[in-house]
Amino acid sequence: MTDIAPFIQQSLSYNIFETSLCLLSVGYIVYLVKITLDIDDDEIQ
Amino acid sequence: MAHKDRDLSPDTYFLITCPVVLFIACMAVIYPDHTANAFTTAAHYIYTLFDWMVLWLPLAILATCLSIAFSKTGKKRLGGKDAKPEYSTFSWLSMLFTAGIGVGIIFYGPLEGLWHFLYSNYSQLPYITASEKASMAMSTSFWLWGVPAWSIYTISAVVIAYFFYFKDGRLNTGSPIRIAFKKHRWCESVARLTMALTIITVSVSLAASLAMAAGQINGGMQSLLADPTLNIAPWILLGLFILYSICSLTPINQGMKKLSDITILTSIVLLLFIFITGPTRYFLMTLVESIGHTVKGTLVQSFNLFIFDESRYWINWFAMSYFIWWVGWTPFMGVFIAKISEGRTLKEMILSSIFVPAGFIFIWFSVFSGFALLDTVKGSGAVAKAAEANYQQTIYALLDLFPFSGITKILLAILFIAFVVTTIVSGCITLGILTSKDGVNPAKPKIFIWGVFMSAIALPFVLSGKIEGIKAVGSIIGFPYMFCFFMTLAALFKALRHDNRQEEKRQNQSTEKPSLEALL
C-alpha cells in the first residue's frame, strides 16, 4: 500500500474543524449567489 | 411599509447587545492580559484561515462599485428625481474627506510605509534593491488604505442608500436584508442579527481607535519630556474617557462638527508644513510613482497569498487585519455616507466617496511615509530606529527632524486628542440612537454606558501596547459581521437585478404600444 503523503496525514489528524469552516464559508457564498439569482418579481417592491 | 414594523425596537437591541459588550468589557478589565492574548490569538487564527476569502474582496468590490456607477443605475438620484442636495458640493466633499481621516492615518502616516519596507513579504524577495523596496512599500500602503479600501465603505453606503431612498427601507444595515429576502423564513432573524452585530462591531472597533490614541499621546509625552520609560497611557485613557463623556453628554456635542472641521484644518496645516519645509520635489515624485505602482500592482497584490513563504506574518497582520477592520467600520461609514448624500446621484456618491478620501490618503502617505522611507534609505535612519524601538514614537521622531519640533509635537498630541474625542463622541451618539427607545433621540445614560464599555475594552490593549492587540480588537468583531455584510451585498445585487428586469419590461411595453396603435 502506498504511504499517504505526510502533509495529508497531518491535515487528516487536526484539520477537520478548519476544513469544515472553509467548506461552510464556500457553501454560504454559493447559497448567497443562488438566492441572488433566484428572482421572484413580487418579492421586492 | 410592512417591513418596517417587523424590526425590533432599538431598546430591545440594547438589551441584546449590552450584555455581550459588557461581558467583553468586564473580561478586559478583570483579565487584561488574557483578554489581549485571546483577541490576538483569535484574530491570528481567523486571518490564517480565511485569507483566501478576504484578500481579493476589496478589488472585487471596487469593480462592483465602478460598474454600478457607470451603469444606468448610477444615474439614479438619491431621494428622487427632483431631490436637491442637502449640503453644498464643497461641504459634502469635505464631509467625505473628514470621514477619511482620523486617528488612524496620523498614527499610521509615517509607520505604514516603513513597516512594509521592513517586514513585507515583497521586501524579503532576493535581489530586491532598497529603491524597489521603498516603491513597493509605498504602493502597498496605497493599496491597503486607498481606492480598494474605500470601495468597501462605499459599497456599504450604496446598499444602505439604495434600500433607504428607493425601497422605503430604514437607514440601517438590517433593512436591505429584510426587504430583499422577505420571503425567506430566516430573513427576519438574519436582519436582526445583522443589526445586533452592527452595534457590537461599532462599539468594539471604536475601542481600537481609543487604544491607538492613548498610546500615541503617551508616545508624545515621552518625546516631549525626553523620558522613553514614561508610561501614563492608562491615565491618558481615563482623561480621554472623562473628556468624551463630558462632550457627548452636554450640549457641547452640538459644537462637535465645528471641532471636527478645526481638527481637519489643523492636520492639513501640519501636512503643508512638512510638505513645504521638507523635500517638496521628492514628495511629488513619491506621489506620482506610488500612484503608478499602485495602478500596476493592485491586481497582483490582491491575489498574492504567499502560500509557500516561510513567514506569513505580514499578509496576516497587515493585509488581512486591515481589510477585516475596514469591513467592521462599514456600518458606521455606510450610514454616514448614505445620509449626507441625499440629492446626489449614485454615480456621484460612488466616485466621490472612493476617490476623494483615497486621494487625500495618497498625499498624506506620500509625505509622511515618503519622508520616513527617505530618511531610512538615504538619511540618518532615525525614524526607522524609533519605529523599531517603540512604534508609538515614530511620528514624533519624524517631527524632530523638522524645525519647530517643540511646537509641532504639542500640536500633534492635541490633534490626537481632538480626533479621538470627535470620533468617539459621534460613535457614542450613533450607538445611543441605534439603541434608544424611539431610535431617534439618543438617551444620555445609554451614551454614557457605551462610552464606559469602549474605554474598558481599550484598557488591556493600552496596557500591553502591542500593535497586534490594537489590530486584533479593531478587526475581531468585524469578522462575524463580514458574513452579514456579504448578505447585504446579495440583497443589493438582487434588488438591482429585479429593478433592471422591471425596467426592461416597461421599455418593451412602451415600444410595443405604437405598433398596436398603428394596427388600430
Cβ of A39 under 8 Å from any chain B Cβ? Answer: yes
Determine, yes or no, domain membership for B515.
no
Chain centroid to CA B84: how far? 28
| Residue B76 φ/ψ region, left for φ over 0, alpha for ψ in the -120 to 50 degree band, beta for the rest | beta
Determine, yes or no, domain membership for B432.
yes
Amino acid B508: pLDDT: 84
Domain that holds residue B468: 2-497
Determine, yes or no, domain membership for B507.
no
CA gap B243, A24 in Å, rounded: 45
CA gap B335, B173 in Å, rounded: 8
ipTM score of the complex?
0.84
* B179-203 burial code (b ≥16 CB/10 A, e <16): bbbbeeeebbebbbbbbbbbbbbbb
Determine, yes or no, domain membership for B336.
yes
Q: Mean pLDDT of successive 10-residue segments in chain B (520 residues)? A: 62 85 85 85 89 93 96 92 85 74 81 91 84 92 91 94 90 90 90 91 85 84 82 90 86 70 86 95 95 92 88 87 89 86 94 92 95 93 89 89 91 86 83 74 83 88 77 82 94 92 84 60
Amino acid B496: pLDDT: 93
Number of domains in chain B: 1
Q: What is the CATH number of the domain that holds B224?
A: 1.20.1740
CA gap B245, B192 in Å, rounded: 29
Chain B: residues touching A (Cβ < 8 Å): 49-50, 52-53, 167-168, 179-184, 483, 486-487, 489-490, 493-495, 497-499, 501-502
Amino acid B470: pLDDT: 75
Work out the percent of chain A whose per-residue pLDDT is above 90: 31
At residue B459, the 3 state secondary structure works out as helix
CA gap B380, B372 in Å, rounded: 10
Amino acid B2: pLDDT: 43
CA gap B310, B325 in Å, rounded: 25
Choose the closest CB to A35 out of B483, B490, B502.
B490
Nearest chain B Cα to A42, which residue? B498
Choose the closest CB to A44 out of B52, B180, B486.
B180
What's the grid cell of residue B496?
Answer: 438591482
Chain A hits for B324, Cβ within 8 Å: none
Determine, yes or no, domain membership for B517.
no
Q: pLDDT tens, A1-42?
A: 456 677 666 666 667 888 889 999 999 999 999 999 886 655
Amino acid B514: pLDDT: 60
Q: What angle do CA B50, B162, B66 make, to 5 degrees?
A: 60
Nearest chain B Cα to A32, which residue? B490
Q: Which runs of consecutive H residues, i.e. helices, occur in B341-402?
A: 346-377, 382-389, 394-400
From the list B342, B335, B339, the residue with the least C-alpha distance to B434 is B335
Determine, yes or no, domain membership for B407.
yes
CA gap B339, B285 in Å, rounded: 37
Q: Which runs of consecutive H residues, i.e. helices, occur in B162-279?
A: 175-180, 187-224, 233-249, 256-277
Torsion of CA B73, B78, B79, B81, to 10 degrees: -50
* A25-37 burial code (b ≥16 CB/10 A, e <16): beeeeeebeebbe
Chain A hits for B180, Cβ within 8 Å: 43-44
Chain A hits for B494, Cβ within 8 Å: 35-36, 39, 44
CB contacts < 8 A (A, B): 47
Amino acid B40: pLDDT: 87
CA gap B156, B170 in Å, rounded: 14
- CA neighbours within 13 Å on the CB side: how many for B155? 28
Q: Is there a contact between A41 and B498 if contact means CB atoms under 8 Å apart?
A: yes
Choose the closest CB to B498 out of A22, A29, A39.
A39
From the list B157, B155, B166, B82, the residue with the least C-alpha distance to B340 is B157
Q: Is there a contact between A40 and B181 if contact means CB atoms under 8 Å apart?
A: no
Q: Is there a contact between A44 and B53 if contact means CB atoms under 8 Å apart?
A: no
Determine, yes or no, domain membership for B212.
yes
Determine, yes or no, domain membership for B505.
no
Amino acid B1: pLDDT: 44
